Amino acid sequence: MSDHKSITEIEIVNAPWNKELTFSDVEYEGGFKMLRMRVKEGKRFTDLELDSDTAQHLIELMGTWVKANLPAA
């Protein structure tokens, strides 16, 4: 499954240490969809494609981490 039907950029996020995260909606032939996160570090980049179950798990994991690490008000 390597042929893309469409790639739609969602958002670019600037992260610490001069990293850029680009989130895109990727649809493959047959309608299979993935969330792509591209991490750009200088001239190199890494693509990570997530299905909806994995993306949901990461949302919950990151939400838990954020709540535990928020600065005291």
Domain ranges across the chain: 4-69
Tell me phi and psi for residue 18, to 5 degrees: 55, 35
- Beta 19-28 vs 4-15: how paired, if at all? antiparallel
As a whole number of Å, the CA-based R_g of the chain is: 15
Q: Tens digits of per-residue pLDDT, 41-52?
A: 999 999 999 999
Name the pTM for this structure. Answer: 0.83
Residue 5 pLDDT level (bands cut at 50, 70, 90): confident
What's residue 73's pLDDT?
67
Q: Tens digits of per-residue pLDDT, 10-37?
A: 999 999 999 999 999 999 988 899 999 9
What's residue 2's pLDDT?
61
